[in-house]
Amino acid sequence: MDFKLLSMTFWMVFLAELGDKTQLATFCISADCSDTRWSVFIGSAAALVLSSALAVLLGGVLGRLMPEIWIKLCAGVFFVAVGGWMLFSVVRTI
């Protein structure tokens, strides 16, 4: 096992998840469920594990089918598109 890669992956995902929508949603659900916080923790942890497993599997497949630069480019375009869509939906409601 590559512990340097493990550590780098842990810290990158941990820092990326701080303050994101998933963490805020978990925070809000937990605030509403004071007596069942462990259920919220287990549910959110399982969801993160499943989404990470899907990302690793899909990344492995795509990594064999297309160059890394195209994967990064597609991810960047996706994030910009989602950000634009979110910005547009907020401006439209004002």
66 has a pLDDT exceeding 90: yes
| Confidence at residue 52, expressed as pLDDT on a 0 to 100 scale | 92
Report the pLDDT averaged over residues 27-49. Answer: 88
90 has a pLDDT exceeding 90: no
Which residues are CB-neighbours of 48 under 8 A, at least 6 positions away?
17, 22
Rg (CA), the chain: 17
Angle at 54 between CA 51 and CA 57, to 5 degrees: 150
7 has a pLDDT exceeding 90: yes
Query: Structure pTM?
Result: 0.67
34 has a pLDDT exceeding 80: no
Report the pLDDT averaged over residues 54-74. Answer: 93
